[in-house]
Amino acid sequence: MLTLVKFIRNNGFDKRLFAYTSLDRLVITIYDPPVSNKESLLIKFDEVDRKWHFEYRSTPHIPAEMDRYYPEEQGIDKFCQFTKLLKW
């Protein structure tokens, strides 16, 4: 997770995205201050299975619109793909 956070900071994503942590998740949004689960990308890394879990929610209190798991080595690439898809 730290590698992803460093990537976000070193590549300018931190200038247009806002984030906070929720237990073991990194929650990224376009809103400042962040609004819980509104246009949010929730990212979690499972240390046991060595997989990333990406979940996108556009509206609070409804199921995630996208819910995907990826191998450890695809974390940064998938983050970039999600931000491009969401036009963030």
pLDDT at 60: 86
Handedness of CA 9, 23, 40, 67 (dihedral sign): positive
Is residue 9 pLDDT above 90, yes or no?
Answer: yes
Which tens digits make up the pLDDT trace of 40-63?
999 999 999 999 999 999 998 899
pLDDT at 37: 80
Q: Can you read off the two tokens belonging to residue 33?
A: 């201050």
pTM for the full model?
0.91
Q: What type of residue is 73?
A: E
CB-CB contact of 14 with 6 (8 Å) = no
Q: How far apart are the first and last CA of the chain?
A: 20
pLDDT at 71: 98
Peptide bond between residue 33 and the one before it cis (omega within 30 degrees of 0): yes
**Range 9-30 average pLDDT:** 94
Domain spans of the chain? 2-85
